[in-house]
Amino acid sequence: MANFQLVFFFSSTLLVALSPTVITAALEQDLADLDSFIQSLMECESKPIVGLTISLVKNGDVVFCKGYGKRDLNQGLPLDNRTIFGLGSISKSFTATLLASVLAERDGVTLDTPLVDILGHDFRFQDEFLTKKTTLRDVLAHRTGLQRFPTKLLQFGMDIDRAELTRRVRHFSQVHPFRSVFYYNNLLYTLAGHVAERLAGKPLNSCYGKRSSSLWGRRPFNVGPSYLTYSRDGHALLVDREETFRIQKLHAPSGGMASNAADMARYMQLHLSGGKGPDGRTLVPDELFRESHTVQFFRPYQPDKELYRPQYPVGVRNNGEGFGLIVGDYRGYRRLFRSGIYTGFSSLMSLFPDASGGVFTSLNGPAFPSHVYIDVHSILHYRVADMLLGLEPWLNTTTACSFPQPWATYDVNMTMPPAPSRDFPRDKRDYEGTFGNPLFGNLTIRLNSTDGTLRFKVGLVGHGILLPISPGNRVLINGPPSQSAPVVANFEETQGGAINRLVIPVASPEPPVVFVRGLKLTDVDELPTEEGCAVSGAEATVYKMWSYCVQLGVAILVFTFI
Ligand SMILES: *[C@@H]1O[C@H](CO)[C@@H](O)[C@H](O)[C@H]1NC(C)=O
Ligand SMILES: *[C@@H]1O[C@H](CO)[C@@H](O)[C@H](O)[C@H]1NC(C)=O
Ligand SMILES: *[C@@H]1O[C@H](CO)[C@@H](O)[C@H](O)[C@H]1NC(C)=O
Ligand SMILES: *[C@@H]1O[C@H](CO)[C@@H](O)[C@H](O)[C@H]1NC(C)=O
Ligand SMILES: *[C@@H]1O[C@H](CO)[C@@H](O)[C@H](O)[C@H]1NC(C)=O
């Protein structure tokens, strides 16, 4: 029973100790150098960091596992190798690993079994061909071409369970031809987690064991506060934890795991040992692990995300998608990696099989502007990789601070939300009501008679105010800053002039998300699919380009998984 062993594996990880025998004098020197490198990175003016944790595996052994900075700014608490961090999309690697262990014990079910054969006929996509053909491999490698709904307010606030999500995928539109492009999809990873639950015959929580720090949607114990913004002068915006953890109940498989540096070291050892546990027993069969470490689908070259050798002293490439991991190379050596962002946390895990080594880092502070914080992780991983692989380091404390200079500069354009106008073009009461969407449920709008604002509510965490934008019936949907950036949308009228639809444009090529007044969510199956609505391309672009916006002097940051 491989997955029971997996439970044991994660449950037994809390008492990991460094094995002193592996620390030679040379390694001791390397680790001392790394320690001072990290301390000076923490001081960089350009990269304000609240706290950082790191663990390192070399030749299969945990050789370094430490915390830096603060866990809690208010109380001045230090951070250590037991402090829990949100893993964001590194959760996807856990989902793929769990599936591998579950598949290993099931006859007749493989990565290439159509999902419909596992999930039954309550599950279907809009397209019959897709329903028949889509397999776990397609979902895990992000190659279905299905809609991903990149509106955080909606996607992460869904107030349903995973079984219901399985039923609602029938409303996902096809935005790219099947198996034609890499199109990252959080909701489908959540679906993959549900496949694991169905095959294991028990909920995800129990697949991972009670004592594990890696929790599925339960509120992790020992987790400190985290921060949406932070500046050197001490200004910090605290994440609303209550809301943040609530939404992870559904999305645990795609972004809701939490763990600490010590346990993540053990997770890296599991990958590096070809699926063996601490006592040498096989927890996940090597063949399945090898599949997840192999490119399943090629990604196009991403000029903004890769270090290109003629420009940088080294080359760092992303070759394509394995399962929950990206397969790439670093200075010619194989690298398997995955980054994750979860409101107030950002993390990166890199494995270097040639050195039987790996590194995990996590920050408990802002993740945006993403280039700054992704860089902090990358810089640390490059530095550690040089050490693990015995290469001359190419980053020093000066270039770590100035990175990507002197080699490159960022060209980052921030798009601000349009400024609200003074008034709505119609009586505010015209907008009141309940608007339904087959996937996201009801969005209700009410006029607050005390302060005269229009307030909305949708899903688990979507609540806030609607502000008018001229011209026309456009609005800014202003949700909680921990969950979402403001979203531009527009109301549409019937021929008789009544407000009957709220249309939320989503980045191209996705169709807009449409909420229809009075939609009965019980008979949604009979509804025709919504096709392109009158949404200006400019609005969709605003949404897409919006890495963050500054409003009322406080940075409001986009919550996302990457
Ligand atoms: C965690 O840090 C403590 C010191 O705070 C250290 O004694 C211990 O070895 C570290 N744990 C691991 C797994 O390295
Ligand atoms: C750091 O590296 C840069 C470029 O590689 C070099 O110009 C600089 O002199 C180095 N600084 C230190 C302190 O070694
Ligand atoms: C940013 O804006 C400048 C000037 O409008 C433009 O030339 C540049 O291409 C833009 N960069 C990106 C990444 O969109
Ligand atoms: C209405 O507005 C008042 C004043 O801003 C606020 O205190 C109250 O909570 C609001 N009521 C609702 C239901 O949003
Ligand atoms: C959504 O609102 C409609 C009325 O507009 C109602 O019939 C339906 O029960 C509501 N659905 C939920 C899930 O609250």
Q: What is the CATH number of the domain that holds 33?
A: 3.40.710.10
Q: Are 378 and 235 within one domain?
A: yes
Domain assignment present for 164: no
Q: Are 487 and 384 within one domain?
A: no
In degrees rounded to 5, what are phi and psi of residue 153?
A: -50, -40
In degrees rounded to 5, what are phi and psi of residue 394?
A: -105, -10
Cα separation, 485 vs 403, in Å, equals 27
Tell me how far the alpha carbon of residue 512 is from its chain's centroid. Answer: 22
Cα separation, 230 vs 237, in Å, equals 7
Are 120 and 160 in contact, with CB atoms under 8 Å apart?
A: no
Q: Are 475 and 361 within one domain?
A: no
Tens-place pLDDT, residues 253-305 = 999 888 899 989 999 999 999 988 777 888 888 898 899 999 998 888 877 77
Q: Are 214 and 351 within one domain?
A: yes
Instruction: Return the exposure string of 418-447: e unless at least 16 CB atoms fall within 10 Å of the residue's CB, then b.
Output: bebeeebeeebebbebbbbbbbbbbbebbb
Regarding the beta carbon of 392 and ligand 3, being less than 6 Å apart is answered: no
Q: Are 300 and 253 within one domain?
A: yes
Domain assignment present for 314: yes
Domain assignment present for 148: no
Q: Is the pLDDT of residue 541 over 50?
A: no
47 C-alpha to center of ligand 2: Å? 19
Asked if the peptide bond before residue 303 counts as cis, ω within 30 degrees of 0, the response is no
Ligand nearest to the CA of 453: 4
Give the torsion through C-alpha atoms of 435, 192, 218, 487, to 10 deg.
-30
Cα separation, 255 vs 188, in Å, equals 12
Task: Name the residue of 451, 457, 463 whose CB sits within 8 Å of the most ligand 4 atoms, as the mutation to test its pocket.
Answer: 451
User: What residues contact residue 91 under an 8 Å CB cut-off, 6+ apart?
Assistant: 189, 252, 253, 254, 255, 256, 257, 340
Q: Are 439 and 507 within one domain?
A: yes
Regarding the beta carbon of 442 and ligand 5, being less than 6 Å apart is answered: yes
Tens-place pLDDT, residues 56-115 = 999 999 999 999 999 999 999 999 998 888 899 999 999 999 999 899 988 999 999 999
Which pLDDT score is estimated for 542?
Answer: 28
* Angle, helix 91-104 to helix 186-200, in steps of 10 degrees: 30
309 C-alpha to center of ligand 2: Å? 18
Which pLDDT score is estimated for 14?
Answer: 37
Q: Residue 181 — very low, low, confident or very high, per pLDDT cuts 50/70/90? A: very high
Ligand nearest to the CA of 464: 4
Ligand nearest to the CA of 412: 3
Tens-place pLDDT, residues 189-239 = 999 999 999 999 888 877 775 445 444 444 445 567 889 889 988 899 988
> Closest Cα to atom 7, ligand 5: which residue?
520
Q: Are 387 and 446 within one domain?
A: no
528 C-alpha to center of ligand 3: Å? 39
Give the torsion through C-alpha atoms of 260, 266, 270, 271, to 10 deg.
50
* The one-letter amino acid at 473: N
Tens-place pLDDT, residues 421-475 = 999 999 999 999 999 999 999 999 999 999 999 999 999 888 999 999 998 899 9
The ligand 5 atom at the shortest distance from the C-alpha of residue 518 is 5
Q: Using the Cα atoms of residue 364, residue 368, residue 373 and residue 378 in order, give the sign of their dihedral.
A: positive
What's the number of domains the chain is made of?
Answer: 2
Regarding the beta carbon of 18 and ligand 1, being less than 6 Å apart is answered: yes
Q: Are 312 and 440 within one domain?
A: no
Domain assignment present for 325: yes
What CA–CA distances, in Å, run from 224 to 85, 221, 396, 420? Answer: 8, 9, 31, 36
314 C-alpha to center of ligand 2: Å? 15
Instruction: Please provide the average confidence, as pLDDT, over all residues in the chain.
Output: 84
Domain assignment present for 199: no
Range of the domain at 261: 16-96+204-402
Task: Name the residue of 160, 521, 522, 527 whose CB sits within 8 Å of the most ligand 5 atoms, as the mutation to test its pocket.
Answer: 521
The ligand 5 atom at the shortest distance from the C-alpha of residue 435 is 5
Q: Are 255 and 391 within one domain?
A: yes
Regarding the beta carbon of 411 and ligand 3, being less than 6 Å apart is answered: yes
484 C-alpha to center of ligand 4: Å? 21
Regarding the beta carbon of 80 and ligand 1, being less than 6 Å apart is answered: yes
Ligand nearest to the CA of 303: 3
The ligand 3 atom at the shortest distance from the C-alpha of residue 545 is 14
Structural tokens at position 120: 């039954």
79 C-alpha to center of ligand 1: Å? 12
Q: Are 390 and 470 within one domain?
A: no
Are 411 and 404 in contact, with CB atoms under 8 Å apart?
A: no
Q: Are 371 and 436 within one domain?
A: no
Between CA 327 and CA 332, with CA 328 as vertex, the angle to 5 degrees is: 140
Cα separation, 284 vs 169, in Å, equals 29
Q: Please say which residue of 384, 402, 420 terminates a domain.
A: 402
Which pLDDT score is estimated for 525?
Answer: 52
Phi-psi group of 126: left, alpha or beta (phi > 0 → left; psi -120 to 50 → alpha; rest → beta): alpha
Structural tokens at position 369: 């502007």
Q: Residue 35 — very low, low, confident or very high, per pLDDT cuts 50/70/90? A: very high
Domain assignment present for 299: yes
Ligand nearest to the CA of 37: 2
